[in-house]
Structure 1
Amino acid sequence: MNRKNFINTVAAASAVSALGARAAGHAPKSEFKISLAQWSIRNLHRGKEPGADLLDPLDFAKYAKNTCGIDGIEYVNSFYFGKEGDATYFAELKKRAEGEGVKSLLIMCDGCGRVGDPKEASRIETVEKHKPWMAAAAQLGCHSIRVNAGSTGSFEEQQKLAADGLAKLADAAKPYGLNVIVENHGGLSSNGAWLAGVMKMVDLPTVGTLPDFGNFKIDRKTGEEYDRYLGMKELMPFAKGVSAKSHAFDAEGNETKSDYFRIMKIVADSGYRGYVGVEWEGSKPGATEGILLTKALIERAVAEL
């Protein structure tokens, strides 16, 4: 099946699924919307997607809307390194998103230091490194920046350090009208109980989580992994966004490691209503196919709520 036929088939199947759900009296929850995490198209931006042209990061919104039928986007700062502080560039990025009728939701910030660094001077420096991205997020009309709660030390020590760093970030983000949200993203941040504890320590309305369906690996070397369903339950009370991570699909269109139907019930039961972000991290199929499969699976899971 060629790419065009594949896309048409997935779109048709998704529409039939939604109509069937309505006919059965289980209409999809209208409060849920689907967004696209820019990491899903990393290979398109890097020119490493077989058979596809290089995609300019300025055209992220156009791709999301016209190729994937998605009208909410989540930026990744690494695709805009070197543009920090360039208000003209981000004005153009905003113009293009608005021109497509696409809503900018957040910027995922990596490479800005450790929020929970043991040295206070380093935590302060980390805040400074995030400020240009706060300015960009505010200019784009985003509601949040996503940060990483990296640290070292004991379980409790890292909680205290991460909480301190997040409080500092929240204070810096206040003039921009932004939330600061933490993803379970490796190390103790992938331990749901640990990160939920950090949220309770910070106890600020502008600090929350971005629970990721599949990022519960605590130690890549040992393979230690936290229970993803327990982790989602622990992190959802603080969620200001949700990331639907996907790596591979079976013949029925289900993700091979995460039960989306079970997870979306956890999401819904928490009271969260809002965007669920597609984050395709697999290698096969390609970016567009992986995104559309993830989108269709989310729609099926929401339709059964």
Structure 2
Amino acid sequence: MAHQQPSRRLFVKAVAAAMPMMTAGGIESAGRAVAAPQAGGPLRLSCNLYSFNEPLMSGQMTLQEVLAFCSAVGFDAVDPTGYYFPGYPAVPDTSYLYEIKRRAFRLGLDISGTGVRNDFTLADPAKRKADIGLVKQWVDVSARLGAPVLRIFSGKGVPAGHTRETVTGWLVDALGECVDYSAKQGIILVLQNHADFIETADQLLDILQHVKSDWLAVNLDIGSFRIGDPYAQIARVAPLAATWQIKEKLFVDGNEVDTDLDRIARLVRASGYKGYLPIETLGKGDPRQKVPAFYNRVKKAMFPT
């Protein structure tokens, strides 16, 4: 099937970001070599509502209540995953979607994106086809919500009896069909690295270069590069990011550590990124306390006075 060719400028930036940089002490990773932030703005903070997964799924908070909370904290936008709409994975009534859209607008919030859970690495072709259908349905939801991006996954991994090369072919074909559809709706599909089939920057870049569409980009999940130096991998794919997930923790050589938010801020600026930076808090604790605290930390790093 035909896909749009990526702009030369886009991939030149990606290749440049992927190259090691020379410093006075020798070759250093791209993440460490970024010293002076470049002018990149505007940047705005969004809340990925997976931060409120427990109260939303248990009924302790409604989606409308979470929107009001995020507005009070000071977020510019929210990113409500499809799981939190009634009846998911079925598409909600249009009247409900418009009510959420109206409510967000009245609270001063944009909807920076939404997302679904799909698996394009399933061995059963019928199941992969069903998940292609799911993504297309939620492309339509994104358009009605006014969400410019739809977050999607690659899949869980390589099924027994198959090779990575074969599964990559399944994934590329599925993404191509979905992107052909999303482009007609004006929605960018953003592929999330999630420590599953996609574990490294190389794997993520390889898939994007196979699909070759301006309507497929990266949802850069900083907490899901768990092999080697995450900062170097973040630097490599940052020029292709259309949205992010900024998390409290990331993994350095497989060990979970606190995120160096100042360093992430430098990488964001150096990539020239413009747009929303959704934050996501995970783990134990009340999100009504964790989210404002992390918001303030990210804001301080991204917008130093």
Tell me the equivalent position of 1:263: 264
Q: 2:103 aligns with which of 96, 108, 115?
A: 96
- Deviation for aligned residue 1:97: 0.8
**Letter aligned with residue 233 of structure 1:** A
Give 1:109-258 correspondences, 5 Å limit. Answer: 109-110=116-117, 112=118, 114-150=119-155, 151-152=157-158, 153-217=162-226, 225-247=227-249, 256-258=257-259
3-state SS in 1 of match to 2:268: helix
Q: 1:76 aligns with which of 81, 85, 89?
A: 81
C-alpha separation between the residues in 1 aligned to 2:242 and 2:235?
Answer: 14
Distance 1:247 1:229, change over 3 A: closer
C-alpha separation between the residues in 1 aligned to 2:219 and 2:299?
Answer: 20
3-state SS in 2 of match to 1:195: helix
- Deviation for aligned residue 1:29: 6.7
Give the number of aligned pairs: 258
- Deviation for aligned residue 1:118: 4.3
3-state SS in 1 of match to 2:272: coil
- Deviation for aligned residue 1:277: 0.8
- Deviation for aligned residue 1:93: 0.9
- Deviation for aligned residue 1:119: 4.7
Tell me the equivalent position of 2:5: none
Where relative contact order (Cα < 8 A, 6+ residues apart) is larger, the structure is 2
Structure 2 unaligned segments of length 5 or more: list them: 1-36, 251-255
Structure 1 unaligned segments of length 5 or more: list them: 1-25, 49-53, 218-224, 249-254
TM-score (norm 2): 0.77
3-state SS in 2 of match to 1:275: strand
**Letter aligned with residue 277 of structure 2:** V
Q: 1:58 aligns with which of 48, 59, 64?
A: 64
**1:155–1:194 Cα contact (<8 Å) kept:** no
- Deviation for aligned residue 1:81: 4.6
- Deviation for aligned residue 1:191: 1.5
**For residues 103-149 of structure 1, what are the alpha-carbon distances to aligned partners after superposition, in whole Å with 9 as ceiling and x for unaligned?**
01111211x4x124445443332111123322211111000110000
**1:40–1:291 Cα contact (<8 Å) kept:** yes
**Letter aligned with residue 43 of structure 1:** E
C-alpha separation between the residues in 2 aligned to 1:41 and 1:296?
Answer: 17
Report the RMSD for the aligned CA atoms in angstroms.
2.6
**Letter aligned with residue 259 of structure 2:** S
Tell me the equivalent position of 2:94: 87
**Letter aligned with residue 55 of structure 1:** M
3-state SS in 2 of match to 1:188: coil
C-alpha separation between the residues in 1 aligned to 2:206 and 2:101?
Answer: 36
3-state SS in 1 of match to 2:221: coil
**2:243–2:276 Cα contact (<8 Å) kept:** yes
